[in-house]
Structure formats: C-alpha cells, structure tokens
Chains A and B, each alone.
Chain A
Amino acid sequence: MEKMMNILRGVVRLEISGTRPASLLNACAAQGIEFWGVEPDGEYCVRMKIHKRDEPAVARLSARTGCTAKSLSNSGGPIFVNKIKRRYALLIGLVVCLCLLMCSSFFIWDIVVVGNESVGKGEILNALEECGVEIGSFWPSFNNVEIRTDMLLLVDGLRWITVNASGSRAIVIVRERVEKPEIVDEDALTNVIATKPGIITDITVHGGAATIKEGDTVMTGDMLVSGIVTGRTFKTRAVHASAKINARTWYELTVAAPLTESEKSYTGEEKTSWALIIGENRINFSLNSGILQLGCDKIIREYKLELDGLFILPVWLEKATYMQYDTTEVELDADILAEALKQELSERLMSELGDDGQVVSTTYTLSKSGGMLYVTLRAECTEDIAGMVAMTQEEIHSALGAGEDAEN
C-alpha cells in the first residue's frame, strides 16, 4: 500500500555527492523531509529516493551542506500527468472510453438462464426476445411484473420467472411447473378392468363386486370388479368400483446393439480460424471459417472482455480449432456389451412395473446375428393390474334396467 501511495505521489531517485553526504541526510531528517532506500556508494556518494514535491527543498539543503544532488530518475503519478498533459487526443480518448464503458453497462450483452430442466434454454430466450429482453436491450426499462406475466403466457412449462441485471449480464431465474397429480373422482361410476394379462394372486375390493377369483387367468381389458352391485336388501345400483388386484405377469423385452463401433483417432492436423463478434454481428478473419469441415471436430473458444459482476463488453474474439480425425471400426467386447444391455433391460422392466411391482425371476438369453448382439429378458413379476374405467351411460342403463326386471 505504501509503495502504491509513493508511486501516486511521484518518486525521484537522487544521487548525493559531497565530502559529507550524511550531513544532507541529517538536514533532511531535521526538516521533516521523507526519504528512503538510502544506498551508500563509497565514502562520498549516496543514492536515495524522495517524493517529487520535496525535490526543491532537497536542492536548497544540498547547497547549504555543500553537497550536490543529481536526479537519476523520475516516476509516478505527477510525472505521468505532466507527460500526457499536452496529449489532448489521448486524454479525450480516455474520457470517451470511460464514458462508453459506463454507458455500455446499462445495456445487456449476456443472458444467463438458471433453473430450467425440462424447458429448453432456446425456448426461454426466444420468448424473452418477444418480451423485450435480448442482447442490446436497455435493462433499466425492464418491468419484472410485465415480463413475468408475458413469459408465463408464452412458455407453458414455467410457473415463475424473474430477470435480474448484474452489470451487463441478465440473469434469468425460472421455476418450472410441477405436474399436478391425478385426482380420482370418487363419485364417478367406474368398473375395474385388467391393464395387463396375468394370473390373479390377490384381490382386495374397496368398492363394487368382484367378477374374478384368485387363480383366474385374465387378459388385458377383462372386467375384474364391476361397478353394478346387486344385493338382497337393496336395489341394483351403480357404484364407484375400486380394487387392488395383484397378479403374476410375464415380460419379454429385447434389445440389440452392434458388435462394432466407429472410433475416432486424431491425425494431428489442425486448422485455426478467428472471428470478431460485435453484438450479433460477426467478422470472420479466415475464408470459409463458417463452414463445418467434414471429418473434423470443431472446438470453439471465446475470449470475452468482462469483469465478473461489473461489466461485460459486447465484443469478443472467437477461436475455432478444427481437428481432423479418421474413423476406424473397432470390435467391442461382447461380454461387456452384454452386461450393459442387460442393465438397460433391467431398468426398462422396472420402469414398466412401476413402484408396486416386484420381480420374481429373470432369465437373459443372448444371440448374435448379422454383426448385432441381441439380449432378451424374460421376467416373471407380481404387480397390481387393476385399472379404473368410467362406465358408459348405456352400460349403466342396461345394467340397472336388467336389475329392475329381475326384481319384478
């Protein structure tokens, strides 16, 4: 800190020569003149540093003590200011640059979206553009309430959004909509049918009349619990049927993958191209730099002028590196591939079973054909196969009508 202060105030390095240079040092100390970095050079010469403003006083004291003070170097703030005092164009340029920098901080040059998982960033940015939030927009004019209202109407998957400006960067924070759970209408007249084929192992009826028993084989769509209930003490009526019906079910899932794959190997040949991006405009410094080269990987690196949290300038350099590669067919290890495919099948089975299902037994079979590896999973599971369907009006009328005839 002290060094920085000294530089700002200006520093002069002096060479003091005389019969007794120490007498000048004593005189400076007595007068309160600050000096430092004293380096004796022989018996009659001393070098030291003083502040620029003390140079005239030291000159007077040196004359009084019979020494000569010679300035070796000047540096620091006042010397710099003197040098550029007459350079009007430089001064004006500096001022203009500072003004432009300050003005540019009122415009958005970078937009960052945070919090999105299923809604794409591109969709959000396109919608923001329609609401007036885009590169080059004037952020003090943003109205968060209006932006939120418009964005929630434009993008379905969002439930909340806010735009915060930090320097020249707009940080868009979103919260996505949570799907509402399925609400079962317990007053609706329903039947319970089988959603999958299987052998019934367990029946728990909450409402309605079961039409099957344990050990029965059912196919998809078969009625399991009817919503039409007939009793000895009451008339035939239609109710909301609901039940939990566990059954043994069987799955056969197959997946295939090629036994060879293409592997990249870089040849070592590289090509670099540069471009200058100003806002949304691009200036290429190489010919055909925008065309994607076949058989090459393109790696883009951006060099931006920014100070995190303070400002970001709308000008940056883009370096595109094209790395050529050759592809070769490589044979994969069949065992490792088979394990990966088995894992995939297992995950698929679990997703089809749902939370309540359990796997009783599994069998994997492998076969190779035409350069492909086929893995088949056969699994026996137990799960709830009950599914509710609403009764149609015809079903209700025919069932209730038949019930009345039987009573009569």
Chain B
Amino acid sequence: MRKKRTVASIISAHFDIPEETLPGVPRLTVTGLHRSLVENHRGITELSRERIEINGGKVHLRITGDELELSAMNNDAILITGTITSVEFE
C-alpha cells in the first residue's frame, strides 16, 4: 500500500528543508523521563494523570506515564512534566 505523504513532507523532500521548520508539523522534544515539549499542536483531546492525548493534525500523540501534569500551555506549545513511560503516535 502506498504511503500517504503530507504536503509538508513533499516540500521538505523536494527542497531539502528540515520538515520540523514547516508549519503544521508537530514536533516532540523529550528531555529525560520527566519533561516533554510538544510544539505545533492543535489542542488536547484527553487529559488525565496517566495519559495525555494531543492532536497534532495528521499525527495523534499519546503520552503515558505517572503523575503527569500540564505545566504550561499556549497556542503553539504544551509542556508536560511527570514520569513519562511511553510516547505513541497514531
């Protein structure tokens, strides 16, 4: 089955531009086990102490762990702290 490619990935491949610099591409930065920064998001879909789900447009992120806390959030980025055990993409 042919893999569906996004416009951003096509542009980044053709012009050799890093994909994360293009708008609409979610970016996840995990520092150790206790801090995770998600940029270019489109809102939270689920929020609990054990699981936080974030809508990244074409990608859906699920962060699971213990004592998860939404430390800060604005239109562009979400900072999650706590003990992160796994990150899944859908």
Contact = CB atoms under 8 A, between A and B. Distances in A.
B20 interface: no
A25 B73 contact: yes
A120 interface: no
B71 interface: yes
Interface residues of A, number: 20
A310 to B, nearest CB: 38
A165 B73 CA distance: 53
B73 A22 contact: no
B47 A25 contact: yes
A30 B44 contact: no
A145 interface: no
B69 interface: yes
A217 interface: no
Interface residues of B, number: 15
Contacts of B86: none
Nearest to B79: A36
Q: Which one of A22, A36, A43 has the highest number of Cβ atoms from chain B below 10 Å of its Cβ?
A: A22
A239 to B, nearest CB: 97
A39 B80 CA distance: 11
B72 interface: yes
- Interface residues of A: mostly helix, strand, loop or mixed? mixed
A39 B44 contact: no
A30 B74 CA distance: 7
Contacts of B44: 22, 25-26
Contact of A32 (B45, B46, B72, B74): B74
B74 A36 contact: no
Contacts of A40: 47-49, 68, 70
A21 interface: yes
Contact of A39 (B45, B69, B73): B69
Contacts of A142: none
A36 B47 contact: no
Nearest to B76: A29
Contacts of B49: 40
A156 B20 CA distance: 83
Interface of A: 21-23, 25-26, 28-30, 32, 34-40, 42-43, 46, 48
18 contacts: A21-B47, A22-B45, A23-B43, A25-B44, A26-B44, A28-B73, A29-B73, A30-B43, A30-B75, A32-B75, A36-B71, A36-B72, A39-B69, A40-B47, A40-B48, A40-B49, A40-B70, A43-B48
